[in-house]
Structure 1
Amino acid sequence: MLRNKIINLTVRDVRFPTSLEQHGSDAMHTDPDYSVAYVVIETTNAELKGYGLTFTVGKGTEIVVCAVKALSSLVVGRTLEEIVSNFRGFYRLLSSDGQMRWIGPEKGVIQLATAAILNAVWDLWARAEGKPLWKLLVDMDPAQLIRCIDFRYITDALTEQEALDILIKAREGNQTREEQMLREGYPAYTTSCAWLGYTDQQLTQLCSDALAQGWTKFKVKVGADIQDDIRRCGLIRKMIGPNNILMVDANQRWDVAEAVAWVTSLAEFRPLWIEEPTCPDDILGHAFISKALAPIGIGVATGEQCHNRVMFKQFLQASALQFVQIDSCRVGSVNENLAIVLMAAKFNVPVCPHAGGVGLCELVQHLILFDYIAVSASLHNRMCEYVDHLHEHFRSPTNIRNACYMPPTDPGFSCEMLEESVQKHQFPDGEVWKNIRKQDK
């Protein structure tokens, strides 16, 4: 690896007007415009750049951009080699700046900004090594990988030695699992059929198309109206048949008791899980819901708005979830997701990542491949979310075959966007947004 000094970091506000067609709509986010704070890192090697992003749903992206700019002084001037040789220390530098951490720490806008920067750094590292990120992680010596993780605050749930033991144990058979993934891909489920704002006609057509394409796992957005949910879940269950998998997602809509009652009313449709049934910060509330729904065979899934590894630790310790939903941008990038994946392995809870949005599928596919090949060695009750939106804006878009993620082969973290797409969708002065303002007048 050459000495690569970081000489510039830029960030842009890129938004896609998905609200116009209700893509991404759910019980709490009725008009999302899928967006990113898009980071590009330049080095003294003109041929080597790193690309990263963090996901938002429109308004507020400009605040994340400001936070990225505020953190950029901690990045520019360092070499890639300096960063990765002490990646734990670099993670702490970004997340624990004596003044900046006050507006976190390790949560909210500051953590989203940290994720965008670190995603770009990991992309840079993988490109420098000529490997897709999942392969960089799989090939990494377990001791080196452990040094990328900040274990502060989680050693009561997972020590460094326990994490190292998990990685060493999983080396048995990892080559066979890697070959399996390259051949078959990682199982996915679709959320594209049943956004809350879709009409029954849209839902029926999209579900029919997905079945024809080989999809067997479907998620339905719920939570706005109980009778509407019963009707829509009944429609989907009838279409997909008794043997395919159904999940439901309330996006934090309910109070705790309300969640139990509402989901019980949907039990006849046999959902595998209820996702985000209540406030994403309410660990004890999730534990109550998990215990109440266990007798009817419905698990609780959450994590896409879980701030950091410490919250995941508590969710696991409290048996408050049965499915861990890591997100590639909500927590502190790969570094923190490594900790979460390893904790989930210790507690024997399946990881089923949150994806969709814009760029999330491209990013998280690397993490779930790593989890299967190098950590969990299991596909039982495991699947990765897929949403069929906006992939055409990426240089290395996801490749779905037979309802499975096929492992990326291009070096990097797969989140480099096409420059033409970035310029057209840059907010507020890109061509797309200028045209929307004209139409609004």
Structure 2
Amino acid sequence: MSRETPHKIIHLSVRDVRFPTSLEHHGSDAMHPDPDYSAAYVVLDTDSGLRGFGLTFTLGRGTEIVVCAVQALAGLVVGKTLQEIVSDFRRFYRLLTSDGQMRWLGPEKGVIQLASAAVLNAVWDLWARAEGKPLWKLLVDMDPERIVSCVDFRYITDVLTEEEALQMLVEARRGQRQREEQMLSEGYPAYTTSCAWLGYSDQQLRERCTEALEEGWTRFKVKVGADLEDDLRRCRLIRRTIGDHNTLMIDANQRWDVGEAITWVSRLAEVKPLWIEEPTSPDDVLGHAAISKALAPLGIGVATGEQCPNRVVFKQLLQASAVQFVQIDSCRLGSVNENLAVLLMAHKFKVPVCPHAGGVGLCELVQHLILFDYICVSADLSDRMCEYVDHLHEHFANPVVIKNARYMPPRDPGYSCEMLESSVRRHQYPGGDSVGISMKK
């Protein structure tokens, strides 16, 4: 980044963008039967003309609350230069997430953290654009010291110190160039959730699974948790359709109590799921540990993370051996900064990372993080795959590219967050001009 072009942020705008996915039951699960995939969409304008784009994912009603939270944070961003922010990114992360008054609304969880993620995603997008690189490449090309400097280690030093993280990154540099070339040519393995939403009919399930098989998909996830006998019937149908040689996962979206989860999943063991995702409350670390212990003899792992609020809960899940698959989310945690912390902790505990994606823009975002994880942290593809959902990509300037059921690395500069202005205008809720805070002249 040129020192002659500091890119002062002079305006932050945020809009409420909603898509009517509930009309055809896209995204439906046991806890969210009628989601309208939505986003609080942030744009940063600078005095140089460069723009940064960011978002956080929501399900419709309530997006206006996240928009208000973004507006509340805007004063901490507007007036700063990109160079000022990234020269001490850890300090800026703490400024945004630890404001002396707004911190009370979290801290580092809930609506205020979603808003922080949207703003920080826009900052990372701006940085990558300023460097002329896709975000994953920006991260891959960083020195380990620079990467570590972006992470807030507060509250996690009992399991991962800054020195340990640095050593991990240094050790992973061996073979890094070869792994980058591998990703550019082969892509990162994905699994599909688009075939088996809870609201789909049996005919839809068969048709979508058959189409996916023809397109080369071998890993499938099924939504469960509303009715046990119906789950058994649907999972058997899907297992018959995809065959025993392909991988099946199940996802309850936090539907059950601990004992209920163990009983329910034990009944579903006959379809040989690799994991049960979000079996209970995302905050119940010990509950996840009990479920993991009970299901281990059945060969079924526990996966969670899409609603895990921060690095501290991830730390505890790993400490308690409560998860066998870590599912980071690019908008639930505090953007790239906090996801870096979780990737490093997961590597230390030797737990594979299989990110949550889908929604509005989550695939576009998280592909950058998982590419960085393989190239610069884990150097391992065993039991690793990234979720893919085939909705709403047409609304993005640089949509995700899937080839042979793999994420192909983005080539365009930025974090792949930019939405088409025509789509934003069409789906803005409730309509009208964007709201924003500008720097006073």
Partner of 2:125: 123
Q: 2:399, 2:418 → 1: CA distance?
A: 9
Paired residue type of 1:167: L
Q: How does 1:281-320 map to 2 (within 5 A)?
A: 281-320=283-322
Partner of 2:435: none
Paired residue type of 1:10: S
1:17 to 20, 27, 31: 20
Q: 1:203, 1:242 → 2: CA distance?
A: 17
Partner of 1:200: 202
Query: Partner of 2:174: helix, strand, or coil?
Result: coil
1:45 equivalent in alignment to 2:48 = yes
Partner of 1:435: none
Partner of 1:72: 74
Partner of 1:35: 38
Structure 1 position 113, deviation (Å): 0.2
Query: Partner of 2:79: helix, strand, or coil?
Result: coil
Structure 1 position 92, deviation (Å): 0.2
Q: 2:428, 2:205 → 1: CA distance?
A: 31
Give CA-to-partner distance per residue, 1:168-202, whole Å, 9 cap, x none: 01000010000000000000000000000000011
Q: 2:241, 2:175 → 1: CA distance?
A: 38
Structure 1 position 125, deviation (Å): 0.1
Q: 1:66, 1:375 → 2: CA distance?
A: 36
Query: Partner of 1:151: helix, strand, or coil?
Result: coil
Q: How does 1:64-143 map to 2 (within 5 A)?
A: 64-143=66-145
- Greater RCO, CA 8 A, separation 6+: 2
Q: 1:110, 1:423 → 2: CA distance?
A: 25
Q: 2:147, 2:333 → 1: CA distance?
A: 18
Q: 2:238, 2:177 → 1: CA distance?
A: 38
Partner of 1:351: 353
Q: TM-score under structure 2 normalisation? A: 0.97
Structure 1 position 3, deviation (Å): 1.2
Give CA-to-partner distance per residue, 1:11-59, whole Å, 9 cap, x none: 000000000000000000000000000000000111x100000000000
Partner of 2:220: 218
Paired residue type of 1:42: D
Q: 1:3, 1:406 → 2: CA distance?
A: 32
Unpaired runs of at least 5, structure 2: 433-441
Partner of 1:437: none
Query: Partner of 2:331: helix, strand, or coil?
Result: coil
Runs in 1 of length 4+ with deviation above 2 angstroms?
A: none
Query: Partner of 1:336: helix, strand, or coil?
Result: helix
Q: 1:21, 1:239 → 2: CA distance?
A: 22
Q: 2:408, 2:371 → 1: CA distance?
A: 9
1:26 equivalent in alignment to 2:36 = no
Q: 1:92, 1:301 → 2: CA distance?
A: 29
Q: How does 1:40-439 map to 2 (within 5 A)?
A: 40-46=43-49, 48-429=50-431
Q: 2:239, 2:48 → 1: CA distance?
A: 54
Q: 1:429, 1:30 → 2: CA distance?
A: 25
Partner of 1:438: none
Partner of 2:438: none
Q: 1:76, 1:3 → 2: CA distance?
A: 13
Paired residue type of 2:67: V
Query: Partner of 1:353: helix, strand, or coil?
Result: coil
Give CA-to-partner distance per residue, 1:285-320, whole Å, 9 cap, x none: 000000000001000000000000000000000000
Count of residue pairs brought into register by the alignment: 430
What RMSD in Å do the two structures reach over aligned CA positions? 0.8
Query: Partner of 1:401: helix, strand, or coil?
Result: coil
Query: Partner of 2:12: helix, strand, or coil?
Result: strand
Q: 1:124, 1:289 → 2: CA distance?
A: 42
Query: Partner of 2:56: helix, strand, or coil?
Result: strand
Query: Partner of 2:282: helix, strand, or coil?
Result: coil
Query: Partner of 1:266: helix, strand, or coil?
Result: helix
Q: 2:199, 2:140 → 1: CA distance?
A: 40
Q: 2:146, 2:55 → 1: CA distance?
A: 25
Query: Partner of 1:74: helix, strand, or coil?
Result: coil
Partner of 1:433: none
Q: 2:75, 2:360 → 1: CA distance?
A: 27
Structure 1 position 429, deviation (Å): 2.4
Q: 2:412, 2:346 → 1: CA distance?
A: 28
Query: Partner of 2:281: helix, strand, or coil?
Result: coil
Q: 1:30, 1:268 → 2: CA distance?
A: 26
Q: 1:162, 1:61 → 2: CA distance?
A: 38
Give CA-to-partner distance per residue, 1:236-277, whole Å, 9 cap, x none: 101111110000000000000000000000101100000000
Unpaired runs of at least 5, structure 1: 431-441
Q: TM-score under structure 1 normalisation? A: 0.97
Q: 1:311, 1:263 → 2: CA distance?
A: 24
Structure 1 position 428, deviation (Å): 1.3
Q: 1:122, 1:108 → 2: CA distance?
A: 21
Q: 1:214, 1:358 → 2: CA distance?
A: 24
Q: 1:92, 1:57 → 2: CA distance?
A: 27
Q: 1:130, 1:188 → 2: CA distance?
A: 27
Paired residue type of 1:27: A
